[in-house]
């Protein structure tokens, strides 16, 4: 089954403790992206990657890191989480040809709480 | 700048009412248009999409959308809503390698 798999689904952590949210897709998509979703603010893009070893900042990259060493994986790293990073996070992947996106497939989301 | 505008942040309807959610976009390139739905506590799922051809596209669960190029619009419609349609709906248009998202419309259906 074609899917984007995120782990964990729920995470509660303390301020400053490094964490990684994993994302993996099995569709051979070039494009992958991380979003955070907060009430009243819609979806905001954190980072995206157009292919292996190519990553770029989205609208709200501060406090986050990503890597794209393999096509299928795109982990999101919070080196020193803070309470304002409490949010619902979604990973997504897409087939993109010639700069045109053919739609995203989303992971199930990770609800992160930083206390 | 590329943008997507969804006219209503919240819509409240009774069951069996007809639905139309507005979406306008600005993008100068080849247009692919999408509507996604997010049911409470779930992730975003594709409702329908337009790439080319017939501007009236049909999606899952009885939804449809019409692409009107002259109006830069891609409004979502459903003739008779159900309580289970309560969700947040997002319109999106392809940008350069990524999707540009509207802010979303929360739809509440009163039983």
φ, ψ for residue A84, nearest 5 deg: -75, 0
The three-state secondary structure class of A85 is: helix
Contact: A106, B96; criterion CB under 8 Å:
no
Tell me what pLDDT residue B58 has: 96
Instruction: Say yes or no: A7 contacts chain B, CB-CB below 8 A.
Output: no
**pLDDT band, residue B64 (cuts 50/70/90):** very high
| Cβ atoms of residues B48 and B62 within 8 Å | no
The three-state secondary structure class of B70 is: helix
For residue A102, which residues of chain B lie inside 8 Å, CB to CB? 32, 51, 94
Q: What is the mean pLDDT of chain B?
A: 92
Tell me what pLDDT residue A90 has: 97
Contact: A33, B98; criterion CB under 8 Å:
yes
**For the residues B67-85, what does the mean pLDDT come to?**
96
Tell me what pLDDT residue B59 has: 94
Q: Which of A29-38, A43-52, B23-32 has the lowest mean pLDDT?
A: B23-32
Instruction: Say yes or no: B39 contacts chain A, CB-CB below 8 A.
Output: no
Of B99, B102, B104, the CB nearest to A101: B99
């Amino acid at each position: 089954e074609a899917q984007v798999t995120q782990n964990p689904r729920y995470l509660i952590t303390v301020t400053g403790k490094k964490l990684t949210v994993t994302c993996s897709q099995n569709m051979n998509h070039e494009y992958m992206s991380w979003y955070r979703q907060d009430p009243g603010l819609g979806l905001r893009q954190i980072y995206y990657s157009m292919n292996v070893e190519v990553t770029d900042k989205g609208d709200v990259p501060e406090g986050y890191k990503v890597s794209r060493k393999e096509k299928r994986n795109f982990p999101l790293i919070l080196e020193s989480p803070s309470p304002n990073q409490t949010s619902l996070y979604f990973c997504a992947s897409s087939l993109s040809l010639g700069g045109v996106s053919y739609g995203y497939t989303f992971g199930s989301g990770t609800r992160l709480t930083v206390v | 700048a590329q943008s997507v505008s969804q006219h209503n942040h919240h819509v409240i309807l009774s069951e069996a009412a007809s639905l139309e959610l507005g979406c306008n976009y600005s993008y100068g390139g080849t247009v692919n248009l999408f509507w996604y739905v997010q049911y409470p506590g779930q992730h975003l799922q594709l409702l329908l999409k337009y790439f080319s051809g017939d501007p009236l596209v049909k999606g899952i669960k009885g939804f449809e959308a019409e692409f009107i190029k002259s109006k830069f619009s891609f409004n979502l419609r459903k003739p008779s809503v159900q309580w289970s349609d309560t969700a947040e709906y997002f319109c999106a248009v392809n940008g350069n390698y990524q999707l540009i998202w509207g802010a979303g419309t929360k739809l509440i259906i009163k039983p």
